[in-house]
Every structure is written in C-alpha cells, then in structure tokens.
C-alpha cells in the first residue's frame, strides 16, 4: 500500500521531549522544576495588557509586530527594523535553518546544545555536526576545527541549556573571527537576563558590526510568558530581509505582542526575578555540593546536578525519589547526560524542599 513519504532525514529526527509535567496527587503539593519557568509568573503589567486584548480577538494582528519591535528597541537601544518577532525563539531558529540550510550543507552545534538545533538542521536536509565541549562548556577551537566548505551555520546557546555554562565575550568574538564570512553565527541568548558576569555580552555588539551574526531571545524565561510563545531576533538587514520573506504574516498574536511589550517595560519585575534567581541558584549550588553532589557552575535560572553511577544513588533513582515528594526535575538522557538532572530555581519553599529531599536521598544506605 502506497502512502506519502516524508523528505529524506525527517524520520531520523528524534522528536523534542519537553520536561515532564507533574501528575496531580490528592493532598500533595507539586512543584514543577523541569522546564526553566519563572516561579513568579509574568509582570502584572503583562497580565493587564493580555486581558485588555480580549476585547478585539476578532481582528488580525498587526503583521510586523511593530508595537513589540518598538518596545524591544527601546529596552535595548536597537533599531526596530532589524528585529524580527516570532512564535517563540524556536520558530526563529527554524526560520534561520530554512533560509540558510539545504541538503548537503552542514550546521555545527555542541555536545549538550539545545535540542532544537539538530532538529532544525536535519529538517532541512543538512548534516548536524557536533563539536565536543570542555567541562560542559562550548569549546571555540573544537567548533572551528569542524568547519568545512559545507558549513553554513553555527548554533551557540550562550548561556547554554541544559548545562548553565557560558562563553565570555572575547571567546565569542574569537569564534566569529575564525568563521568564514558565509557562515551565519546564531547566538541564542534565551537565558541572558540571568547573567551578571562582567565578561558576558548578549551578542548585540557582534550583530551590529557584522553581516553574518544574529542574536535570538525569548519572553518565555525571565518574563514568564512561555504560554504565549513569543521570541525575537536582532540581526543585520540582509538576514532580517531573508527571514521576513518566509515568516508567516501573522506569526505573533496580538495578546502575545501587547503582553510582551508590557513585560519588557517592567524593569522592576525583571530585577526582582534576577536577584531572587542569583541568590537561590548560589544557595542551591552550595547546599548540594555539601551533600557530596557535583553541580556544574551555572549562570542561568537552573542548575545541572550530577549523580553517582552506583546503584541506589543514580540520577534515575534520585528522580523517582524526588517525584514521590512532588518535586519534578528534568532527566537529561536525550541530552547525552544520563547521570544528571536539571533543576529550575524555584520559590524559596521549592528550593528548600529539594535540598531536604536530596539530603535524605543521599543519606539512604
């Protein structure tokens, strides 16, 4: 029996697997710490703007997301005409792959890079080339060593998910300088709002001074608008033009647009979220290290916790133990990290409960 056949390579793609959602248990409070969601939710201003938009749901959105692009431009000091908005930064990543990759091309990502990168690469018939990391951190020399005449795109999450590590700006500049002019460098800055290191830069300078670098960002993390699916890209005029030619005309809904514009203007909410995250990320790292666990130093809103491989103490054992207590973390088998769990920094209550649970877990015979 004949039936439609997908393009070559499509059925070789491992589907993206999100962090598991908690299963309600009567009488038990559950904390979802598997998806890097903010514990505070969005700004009250964003909620108000979203609610107000309900009065005009019969109208198509403004096709270029002008209101949001202007708001982003004001917040970052950018030219709105060099900004593209999308249904989450995932859509923009896929648009970049669609615009610049074709069968026979190559795109480079790192060992524990975001899973959307290989999916977007393979979906366009290109080859996903993996560059090894050093200490769970992107290695510029390893990336450059894998560049060939077929390389068209390099994906770099900075900070990286799920490791929480980052590259200093000097290293990112060295990477850009070592890449051929025809290679697009994609700097995924989804977690940049949580970084407070002096040697970090979101990527704006490189985008502003080159014609082959883009920076993507999202409203799903510190702004708490994950349900609305909204992200953006800052790029050179030539790449913006290419993406706008294949972008759907109404890819950002009006409720998402106005909520995001309100969220990015609420600097106090962002500051509060960042300060809470930094305090409790450092606290969790110290507390879990005292328990004998290894935690990869993170600059994001999550930590990578490594577990022993001995029976009864593995990450799978810990995951089951935590889940029984209503604490849902992220297993990372599909990221090539079978002995680790990723924990989103949550409320004070959630963080303390995880520490206490892991203390009990490690103390078991």
Do the domain assignments include residue 35? yes
- With residue 192 as reference, give the H or E element that holds it: none
Pairing between β-strand 213-218 and β-strand 184-188 as defined by DSSP bridges: parallel
- Is the model's pLDDT at 103 over the cut of 70? yes
| Residue 215 three-state SS | strand
Q: Look at the chain and report how many structural domains it folds into.
A: 2
- In a domain, residue 2? The reply is no
CATH of residue 339: 3.90.1150.10
Check whether residue 35 and residue 142 sit in a common domain: no
Same domain, 211 and 249: yes
Say which residues have a Cβ less than 8 Å from residue 198's Cβ, sequence separation at least 6: none
Section 251-260 average pLDDT: 98
**Same domain for 212 and 358:** no
Residues 29 and 171 in one domain: no
CATH number at residue 183: 3.40.640.10
Choosing from 213, 234, 265, the residue where a domain stops is 265
Q: What is the pLDDT of residue 25?
A: 64
| Final residue before a domain boundary, out of 249, 265, 281 | 265
Average pLDDT value for the chain? 95
Could you list the residue range(s) of the whole structural domain that residue 357 is in? 20-41+268-363
**pLDDT computed for residue 14 by the predictor:** 78
Do both 36 and 125 map to the same domain?
A: no
Query: Which residues make Cβ contacts (< 8 Å) with residue 193, sequence separation at least 6?
Result: 221, 222, 270, 273, 274
Tell me how far apart the alpha carbons of residues 238 and 340 are, in angstroms, rounded to a whole number: 41
Q: What is the pLDDT of residues 139-185, one digit of tens each?
A: 999 999 999 999 999 999 999 999 999 999 999 999 999 999 999 99
DSSP character string of 292-358: T-EEE--SSSEEEEE---STTSSHHHHHHHHHHTTEE-EEEGGGTEEEEEEEE---HHHHHHHHHHH
Residues 290 and 251 in one domain: no
Establish if 230 belongs to a structural domain.
Answer: yes
Note whether 104 and 205 are same-domain residues. yes
For residue 203, tell me if it sits in a domain.
Answer: yes
Res 27: pLDDT: 67
Using alpha carbons only, what angle is made at residue 163 by residues 13 and 326, rounded to the nearest 5 degrees?
90
Question: Comparing 223 with 13, which gets the higher pLDDT?
Answer: 223
226 and 125 co-located in one domain = yes
Whether 11 is covered by a domain: the verdict is: no
- The yes-or-no verdict on residue 48 having pLDDT over 80 is yes
- pLDDT of residue 291 exceeding 60, the answer is yes
Q: Is the domain of 64 the same as that of 184?
A: yes
Q: Which residue has the higher pLDDT, 151 or 4?
A: 151
Q: What pLDDT shows up at residue 21? A: 65
- Tell whether 179 and 213 lie within a shared domain: yes
Same domain, 102 and 225: yes
Residue range 94-106: mean pLDDT, rounded: 97
Q: Is residue 129 part of a domain?
A: yes
Mean pLDDT in residue range 247-268:
97
Same domain as 348, residue 229: no
Residue with tokens 């026979």: 104
Specify if 9 maps to a domain: no
- The residue among 27, 68, 10 whose CA lies nearest residue 262 is 68
Query: Domain boundary residue among 233, 265, 297?
Result: 265
What's the pLDDT band for 294 if we cut at 50, 70, 90? very high
Tens of pLDDT, residues 64-94 = 999 999 999 999 999 999 999 999 999 999 9
Sorted by sequence, the CB contacts under 8 Å of residue 342 that are 6+ apart come out as 19, 34, 36, 162, 302, 303, 304, 305, 329, 330, 332
Return the pLDDT at 260. Answer: 98
- Tell me the per-residue pLDDT of 5-47, one tens digit each, with 9 for 90 and over: 888 778 878 777 776 666 666 667 899 999 999 999 999 999 9
pTM, two decimals, is 0.94
Measure the CA–CA gap between 293 and 288, rounded to whole angstroms.
6
Q: Please give the pLDDT value at position 5.
A: 80
Q: Is residue 1 part of a domain?
A: no
């Amino acid at each position: 029996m004949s039936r439609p056949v997908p393009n070559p390579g499509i059925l070789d793609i491992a589907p993206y697997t999100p962090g598991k959602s908690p299963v309600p248990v009567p009488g038990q409070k559950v904390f979802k710490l598997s998806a890097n969601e903010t514990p505070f939710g969005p700004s009250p201003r964003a909620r108000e703007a979203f609610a107000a938009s309900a009065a005009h749901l019969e109208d198509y959105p403004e096709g270029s997301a002008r209101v949001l692009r202007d708001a982003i431009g004001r917040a970052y000091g950018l030219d709105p005409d060099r900004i593209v908005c999308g249904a989450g930064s995932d859509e923009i990543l896929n648009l970049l792959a669609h615009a610049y990759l074709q069968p026979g091309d190559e795109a480079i990502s790192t060992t524990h890079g975001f899973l959307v990168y290989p999916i977007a690469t393979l979906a366009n018939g290109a080859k996903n080339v993996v560059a090894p990391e050093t200490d769970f951190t992107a290695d510029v020399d390893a990336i450059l060593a894998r560049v060939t005449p077929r390389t068209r795109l390099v994906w770099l999450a900075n900070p990286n998910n799920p490791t929480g590590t980052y590259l200093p700006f000097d290293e990112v500049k060295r990477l850009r300088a070592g890449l051929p002019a025809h290679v697009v460098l994609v700097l995924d800055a989804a977690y940049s709002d949580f970084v407070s290191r002096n040697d970090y830069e979101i990527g704006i300078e490189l985008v502003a001074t080159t014609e082959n670098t883009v920076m993507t960002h999202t409203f799903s993390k510190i702004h708490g608008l994950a349900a609305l699916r909204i992200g953006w890209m800052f790029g050179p005029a030539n790449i913006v033009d290419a993406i706008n030619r294949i972008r759907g005309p109404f890819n950002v809904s009006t409720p998402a647009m106005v909520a995001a514009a309100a969220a990015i203007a609420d600097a106090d909410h962002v500051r509060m979220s960042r300060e809470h995250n930094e305090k409790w990320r450092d606290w969790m790292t110290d507390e879990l290290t005292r328990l004998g666990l290894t935690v990869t130093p993170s600059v994001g809103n999550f930590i990578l916790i490594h577990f022993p491989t001995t029976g009864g103490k593995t990450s799978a054992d810990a995951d089951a133990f935590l889940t029984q207590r209503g604490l849902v973390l992220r297993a990372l088998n599909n990221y090539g990290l079978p002995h680790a769990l990723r924990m989103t920094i949550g409320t004070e209550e959630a963080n303390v409960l995880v520490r206490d649970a892991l203390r009990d877990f490690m103390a078991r015979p």
